[in-house]
Structure 1
Amino acid sequence: MDSEAAGTGGLPVAAPWLVRSTSPLHCVLAFLAGAALQQGLDLPAPQDGLREALHLAGTVLANGGLLLVLWSFALFARRRTTILPGGAPSRLLRNGPFGRTRNPVYLGMLASYAGLALMFDLPWALALLPVPVWILHAAILPWEEAALHARFGTDYLAYRDAVPRWL
């Protein structure tokens, strides 16, 4: 979405730095901050049976999220459109996971984040998950949605009305 944001009269507008910096970076930084808190402050982690259950849940979440991201990227590649939030999409994707959620890449990425935090015994990284979620809601998704509306008009509005943002 390079650049046409709603309300600009169709004039190109560069994506804000928070959008261009990408949500994977926001997730990595939040995750590392949580890991640093966990290790640096020697904060408690789950023990024994609970720990094993959390590892299993984390493995399922992390792998499921990764598969969702890879499936979405494959669809982007097959349809020859950009995966970059600040790029210019050539078409709307409506099949596969995009038929169930408008943001399968972000959903998969957040699931993987949560899963990795559980797998590596980092509850404090999990506690910081709201930070990248907030950045998504406050900056990235509003910009992307405005750019998609500016680019695809009523086609995007129909898609937005038919498919939920998350699930």
Structure 2
Amino acid sequence: MNAYRAKPLKYPWPPMLYLVSILTAMLAGRIAALAPIPSPNGFLLPSIGLAIGLAALTLDIWAVRTLMERQTPVLDSRCARHLVTCGPFRFSRNPIYFAYTLFTVALGLISGNSWFFVAALVSLAATRLIAIPREERHLEARFGFDYESYRRRTRRWI
């Protein structure tokens, strides 16, 4: 595959997809609320949501910091300089997208708005269809066998 032709995304779609999904879930919750999420204790699910949200934020910061330390662009619209396989990338090929998904779920648990779960699934599917195939083609063209080896030993999500 020609590394020149296999460029990364022209626009950083995933952050925008998740942002639009989150805003849509907020709006849908106001217009057409789904069944509320039952909570045996008024603070249990929001507390779990807060813990998941903090874990998502920590994972995102860890992944971004790992990329920056390796002098690789964080935005998926720029050409990768190095194949990063350390930090959270040892466990997941897409830890930032996984963090976005966890954060969206956390918002649903905190707010009690079921639309956030729909938003998380839609964003995850859209990212999987729009961004990830192009990114993987770019990394394969850029890093060849090293990327193939990394892809075989590391799961996409967890």
Whether TM-score is above 0.5 comes out as yes
Give the distance between the partners of 1:131 and 1:106, measured in 2 at CA: 13
Matches within 5 A, 1:125-140: 125-140=116-131
Show the counterpart of 2:37: 46
Deviations 1:76-106 (A, max 9, x none): 1111110111211111111111111111111
Within the alignment, does 1:10 sit opposite 2:3 as a pair? Answer: yes
Identical positions, percent? 23
State whether residues 32 and 125 of structure 1, in contact with CA within 8 Å, keep that contact through their aligned partners in structure 2. no
Aligned-residue CA RMSD (Å): 1.8
Show the counterpart of 2:87: 96
Picking from 31, 52, 57, the partner of 2:48 is 57
Q: How far 1:52 moved relative to its partner?
A: 2.3
Give the distance between the partners of 1:40 and 1:26, measured in 2 at CA: 21
Of 100-109 and 147-156, more deviation after overlay is shown by 100-109
Give the distance between the partners of 1:85 and 1:159, measured in 2 at CA: 18
Give the distance between the partners of 1:74 and 1:10, measured in 2 at CA: 26
What runs of 5+ residues in structure 1 fail to find an aligned partner? 1-5
State whether residues 148 and 156 of structure 1, in contact with CA within 8 Å, keep that contact through their aligned partners in structure 2. yes
State whether residues 7 and 79 of structure 2, in contact with CA within 8 Å, keep that contact through their aligned partners in structure 1. no
Q: TM-score, normalised by structure 2?
A: 0.90
Give the distance between the partners of 1:54 and 1:159, measured in 2 at CA: 36
Of 104-113 and 45-54, more deviation after overlay is shown by 45-54
Residue identity opposite 1:113 in structure 2: T
Q: Please list every run of at least 4 consecutive aligned residues from structure 1 whose deviation after the TM superposition is greater than 4 angstroms.
A: 13-17
Kindly tell me the number of residue pairs found equivalent between the two proteins. Answer: 158
Give the distance between the partners of 1:42 and 1:50, measured in 2 at CA: 21
Of 91-100 and 126-135, more deviation after overlay is shown by 126-135
What runs of 5+ residues in structure 2 fail to find an aligned partner? none
Of 124-133 and 134-143, more deviation after overlay is shown by 124-133
